[in-house]
Chains A and B, each alone.
Chain A
Amino acid sequence: MKKKLITMISMVAVVAMLVFSLAACGNGSSDGGAPTGSGSGSAPAPSTGSIKIGVLVADVSGEEAQGFRSYYENYIAPNYDVQFVYTEQLSDAASEKSAIEKFASQGCAAILSLSSSDRALQIETCEENEIYYAIVSGMLDDAQYEQYKGYEYFLGQVGPSMETEYQAGYEMGKYFAETGAKKIAMYGAFIPNPMHVYRAAGVLAGIGATYGGTSDMGAVVGQIFGDQGIDLSKVQGNGVELVSYFQGYGDTTADELNAAIQANPDAFLSVGMATTFFAQQLSTANIPFSDIDSFTSANNASMKDGSLVYLAGKYSSSIGPVFALVLNAINGNVIRDAEGNAVSVSQGFRVATTAEEFDNLVKNDSGENPIFSKEVLDTVISGTATYDDFVALVESN
């Protein structure tokens, strides 16, 4: 009896300890997709304005996402008398659709999308609810754009086109080839994600390599899609050798990264996410690396410690032009291209190769004087702004 009692007490004590530990460690957040106007944690305070715009977000905590949000809420909102209403973290198409419907019922005049679970469904839902819609980050693939470009409420998209992604990879590869790298390791991120496929194809071209005997962009991209990755036996270098390649993120990643480090590369080139996944290991191994990502403080730290030597990235106010597009539409000037279709403009990356360049870019895009400032945006926010004006604005910055 006594034995049983001791056993019971022990079990209860252990359970209690675990529960307390969990209570102490839990993040206390939920992933619901309900729209909310209030920021959480370190997020900026909600904006108040006469025009309400709903923002769909899939990432609420990432530094890039917070930078975007800060630009809209702390700079755009007070300057243009608009109110941004954000969703919680959206994780699937159903929650995106539900959020749009709620935004519509709350009287939002437009939807800006930073969430990409199902963009086609987002466009169709906005069309059904007669609410303007624009894509803030990323782009539809060609087939989807062709399908939806004529939709009345689909205003357009501003972001890197696939050709721009290829060019970003090309410039990165070329930089390392020109700075004397002879052996490189490469991380293909999440191929067959088209963005990563094009960037990877660009890197191969940039280091002067052929893939499957060709250097033609379309042919290389097609083969990478077909191979669902890069097959090293098909890479023919020209002075720069690709000594290791891996992609994805999972149980085998640590081994694959260790294998890449063991190959003693002069540089580690990533087409995305390396700064998040591998910065610590690459820094510890003293291997210079590059990435196509964004200008975050973590990347700034990596660049300052000398491990991150090349970064092509987005900056916080790069989402300014798409706001201009939306505000014009709300005010009655719906900008369409020459054929009357939704706008689709490619936006390039900024590149930093030194901490000083990095700091300058961040400094020039922060606070009261972002790259896409009110003064710059006002050149296209008017009842007479045209498609050409808009394209010129995006391409000039």
Chain B
Amino acid sequence: MNKSGNGKRIAVKITGTLIIPVVFLVVLEIICLAGGKQMISNLTSFNNFMIYTAIVMITTLALSVNLNSGRFDFSLGSMALLSSTISAKITYAILGGGSGSAIVMLILTVIIGALIGLFSGLVYVSLRIPPIITSLGMTLLFEGITYTITAGKYIMGEVQNASMAAFSKTWVWTLIIIVAVLAVMILLFDHTRFGYDYKALQNGQKVAVNTGIKEVGNAVKCYMISGGLMGIVGFLNTIRNTNINGGQLNFASIGIMFTAFLPMFIGGYIGRYSNDKLGYLLAALCLSMLNSTFAAFSNQISASTQSIINAVLLVIFLIYLNNEGLLKKIFHPVQKAKGAGA
């Protein structure tokens, strides 16, 4: 009986974890086949698929770190922008676009991103005004600094070199980044004192504080981690676009955050059955499959239509999440009756 129960539980976990990615894969593959297209048609497409997956997954992780604790952070995109801008300039100043530029820039973006996140966190805990307001201010500040550094222009020459091209030429580097980030995040949030404190604060701040957990330090560390992650996103965006757009002002960088909403909710759902970080990876894979399908049908589906489809999917998923209980009642009336009888 126990074995059967365990088996059933594992089956439910596996089904719950994989159901959404499998549905995405099957539906999108059917659409591609019906249209005579291939979701991924060559190695370059696969490289792009992997880079996009990494960007979405890491942005989702960065967003969730603070949002799960009720801190809405609009400045994620501007952190990615500023950290990649500064690190691109420094890397070019040191190496002049030569060998090792990619790895040096990656390391610098993480460090600078974390410092920017630290600054953001310190401002938040010092001013004690709602995080949403602080993050709006930080967004404007970081965009403004980037604009000043770049004079509002694209950074191209500094990030177009053989080293950066080699990074985008293979999916292996991206896979290493994905695995490393996931491992570090799982270790940090699921197996350290910081992670336990984070979860305790998430589940009940007052109680957690009364037990001696320091919420200020925890929040600042969260901002630092979020900044470091967005540094990686900035680097990956640079690899993907082969430029950095320094002309983003007036919240133009906020858009990057919205790419993380749908995967965050999907990842949260998957997380019920396994690990939420793994959920974010699977959700990012779903979004990347969708992005590749859009690419395959780019002659038929315009960029604006793609945005609408993304938004509709988000709304549908939110409607589902908000009415999950109701749906269970509709589809499992027997359980409800049994429950009532007991």
**Which A residues are within 8 Å of any B CB, using their own CB?**
7, 10-11, 14-15, 17-18, 21-22, 24-27, 29, 31, 232, 243-246, 251-256, 258-264, 276-281, 283-285
- Contact, CB under 8 Å: B240 / A254: yes
Docked-complex contact B44 and A22, CB < 8 angstroms: no
Verify B242–A281 contact, CB threshold 8 A: yes
Closest residue of chain B to A253, judged by CB? B241
Are A10 and B149 in contact, CB atoms less than 8 angstroms apart? no
- If A251-B255, A252-B303, A285-B44 are given as contacts, then 19 extra A-B residue pairs at C-beta distance below 8 Å, sorted by A number, are A10-B118, A11-B119, A15-B119, A21-B90, A22-B86, A25-B149, A26-B148, A246-B298, A254-B240, A254-B241, A262-B41, A262-B42, A262-B44, A262-B295, A280-B164, A280-B242, A281-B168, A283-B165, A285-B42
Stretch among B121-129, B181-189, B267-275 lining the A interface: B121-129
The CA of A263 and the CA of B112, in the complex, are separated in Å by 37
Min Cβ gap B254→A in Å is 12
A53 to B17, CA, bound (A): 72
In the complex, are the beta carbons of B93 and A258 less than 8 A apart? no
In the A-B complex, list the 8 residue pairs whose CB atoms are closest, starting with the nearest.
A259-B298, A25-B89, A259-B295, A252-B303, A285-B44, A14-B119, A254-B241, A262-B45
List which B74-115 residues lie within 8 A (CB) of chain A. 85-86, 89-90, 93, 112, 115
Please pick, from A18, A31, A253, A260, the residue contacting B145 in the complex, using a CB distance under 8 A. Answer: A18
Q: Which chain B residues border A262 with CB–CB below 8 Å?
A: 40-42, 44-45, 48, 292, 295-296, 298
How far, in angstroms, from A255 to B291 measured CA to CA in the complex?
A: 8
Which residues of chain B are within 8 angstroms of A259 by Cβ–Cβ distance? 294-296, 298
The CB with the most chain B CB atoms within 10 A, among A243, A244, A252, A284, is that of A284
Measured between C-beta atoms, what is the minimum distance from B119 to chain A in Å? 4
A246 surroundings in chain B (CB, below 8 A): 298
With an 8 A cutoff between CB atoms, is B160 at the interface?
A: yes
Q: Which of B238-257 contact A (CB under 8 A)?
A: 240-243, 245, 255
Residues of A within 8 A of B112 (CB): 21
A244–B295 alpha-carbon span in the complex (Å): 10
For residue B36, give the distance in angstroms from its CB to the closest CB of chain A. 12
Q: Please determine whether B119 and A25 come into contact, CB atoms closer than 8 angstroms.
A: no
Alpha-carbon distance A133/B268, docked complex (angstroms): 66
**Residue from A25, A258, A263 in contact with B90 in the complex, judged by beta carbons closer than 8 Å:** A25
Q: Return chain A residues, CB-CB under 8 Å to B292.
A: 262
Q: Decide: B148 and A11 in contact? CB cutoff 8 A.
A: no
Pick from B116, B160, B245, B306: contact of A279, CB under 8 Å: B160
Asked if B151 lies at the interface with its beta carbon under 8 angstroms from chain A, I say yes
Contact: B42 with A7, CB < 8 Å?
Answer: no
Binding site for A on B (CB under 8 A): 40-42, 44-45, 48, 85-86, 89-90, 93, 112, 115-116, 118-119, 122-123, 125-126, 145, 148-149, 151, 156, 160, 164-165, 168-169, 240-243, 245, 255, 291-292, 294-296, 298-299, 303, 306
Scoring A251, A280, A283 by chain B CB atoms within 10 A of each residue's CB, the highest score goes to: A280
Which of A10, A29, A284 has a CB less than 8 Å from the CB of B122?
Answer: A10
A27 to B294, CA, bound (A): 39
A29, B149: Cα distance in complex, Å? 10
Pairwise interchain contact B149-A22, C-beta atoms closer than 8 A: yes
From A18, A21, A251, A258, contact of B45 by CB (8 A)? A258
CA distance A251 to B112 in the complex (A): 24
CA distance A260 to B298 in the complex (A): 8
Which of B48, B93, B145 touches A24 (beta carbons < 8 Å)?
Answer: B93
- A-B pairs with CB below 8 Å: how many? 108
- Chain A residues, Cβ within 8 Å of B303: 252, 255-256
- Whether B295 lies near A284 (C-beta < 8 A) is no
B7 to chain A, nearest CB (A): 42
Distance of A152 Cα from B56 Cα, bound (Å): 61
Among B42, B119, B241, point to the contact of A18 (Cβ < 8 A). Answer: B119
Query: Which residues from A are CB-within-8-Å of B118?
Result: 10, 14
**Residues A255 and B115 in contact in the complex (CB < 8 Å), given A25-B86, A281-B242:** no
Among candidates B148, B160, B291, B306, residue contacting A280 with C-beta atoms closer than 8 Å: B160
Residue of A nearest to B220 (CB): A10
Is B165's CB under 8 angstroms from A280's CB?
yes
The residue in A17, A18, A251, A262 that gathers the most chain B C-beta atoms within 10 A of its C-beta is: A262
25 pairs across A/B with beta carbons < 8 Å? A7-B122, A15-B119, A18-B116, A18-B145, A22-B86, A22-B149, A24-B93, A25-B85, A25-B89, A26-B148, A27-B149, A27-B151, A29-B151, A255-B294, A256-B298, A256-B303, A258-B44, A260-B298, A262-B292, A263-B41, A264-B41, A276-B156, A280-B165, A280-B168, A284-B165
Task: Output the nearest chain A residue to B142 by Cβ-Cβ distance.
Answer: A18
Q: Are A284 and B298 in contact (CB under 8 A)?
A: no
Question: Residue B42 contacts which of A26, A261, A281 (CB distance < 8 angstroms)?
Answer: A261
B339 to chain A, nearest CB (A): 49
B242 contact set on A, CB distance < 8 A:
277-278, 280-281
Q: How far is the CB of B165 from chain A (nearest CB, A)?
A: 5
**How many Å lie between the Cα of A205 and that of B42 in the bound state?**
30
Q: A40 → chain B, closest Cβ, in Å? A: 14
Contacts of A245 in B (CB 8 A): 299
Chain B min CB distance to A123 (Å): 29
| Neighbour of A232 across the interface among B93, B294, B299, CB < 8 A | B299
Closest to B304 in A: A252
Complex CA gap A59/B30 in Å reads 50
The residues of B that contact A263 with a CB separation of less than 8 Å are 41, 298
Q: Which residues of A contact B145 (CB under 8 A)?
A: 18, 22
Q: B108: nearest residue on chain A (CB-CB)? A: A21
**A244 / chain B contacts, CB cutoff of 8 Å:** 298-299
Partner of A264, one of B42, B122, B126, B255: B42
Question: A14–B122 contact, CB under 8 A?
Answer: yes
Q: Tell me which residues across on chain B come within 8 A of A31, comparing CB atoms.
A: 151
Q: Tell me the complex Cα distance, A392–B115, Å.
A: 64
B247 to chain A, nearest CB (A): 10
Contacting residues, chain A, for B115 (C-beta < 8 A): 14, 17-18
Shortest Cβ distance from residue B80 to the other chain A in the assembled complex, whole angstroms: 13
Smallest Cβ-Cβ distance to A7: which chain B residue: B126
Q: How far is the CB of B147 from chain A (nearest CB, A)?
A: 12
CA distance A64 to B165 in the complex (A): 24
Q: Give Cα distance in the complex from A10 to B145, angstroms.
A: 20
Determine which residue in B48, B90, B125, B292 has the highest number of CB atoms from chain A within 10 A of its CB, and name it: B48
A21 pairs with B122, CB closer than 8 A: no
Q: In the complex the two chains form, what is the Cα distance from A17 to B148 in whole Å?
A: 16
How far in angstroms is the closest Cβ of chain A from B279? 25
Alpha-carbon distance A281/B160, docked complex (angstroms) = 9
In the complex, chain A residues whose CB is within 8 Å of the CB of B160 = 279-280
Residue numbers in B under 8 Å from A10 (CB-CB) = 118, 122
A259 to B116, CA, bound (A): 34
